[in-house]
Amino acid sequence: MKWPFGKAFGGAIEDEDIDVDGYMKELTMGTGKLPDEDEYTYLKSIRISNESDVERITKELKKGNLVMMNVGGLFSDKAKMRVIIEKVKEITKEMKGDLCKVSREKLLLVPEGMEIVG
């Protein structure tokens, strides 16, 4: 496998072969297993098109993941968008999470134990 970034990041690895098998083996040292998906916190991007998508958001927050909620597809139906956003706000509050507007189309939601500041 070739390093895809060449000199963009200092050039130290330009055209150097990367030993993927060796790297994966190093990850398993100490534990004897590859890292489990549940051991990580992810930022999941979810485009909302209807109320059923709210369940996906709830599921991700329960897993401890952050969610970037995109409501851009709902601009044509402001009433529907308002209902969905209110529902998400209520769920996030019940789960002791936090949320904030990032842009015209996006809201960031974080699970319990995280707070958005600034």
Which part of the chain is CATH 3.30.110.150?
37-110
Place of tokens 């600034």: 118
pLDDT for 19-49, tens place per residue? 767 766 666 655 555 556 667 899 999 999 9
pLDDT, residue 14, reads 47
Q: Give the model's pLDDT for residue 108.
A: 97
Separation between Cα atoms, residue 97 and residue 109, nearest integer Å: 7
Name which of 108, 60, 49 is nearest 84 in CA terms.
49
Residue 34, helix vs strand vs coil: coil
How many helices (H) does the chain have, and how many strands (E)?
3, 4
pLDDT tens column, 8-24? 445 454 445 667 677 66
Is the domain defined by 37-110 classed in CATH 3.30.110.150? yes
Percentage of the chain with pLDDT > 90?
Answer: 65
pLDDT tens-digit profile of 43-85?
Answer: 999 999 999 999 999 999 999 999 999 999 999 999 999 999 9
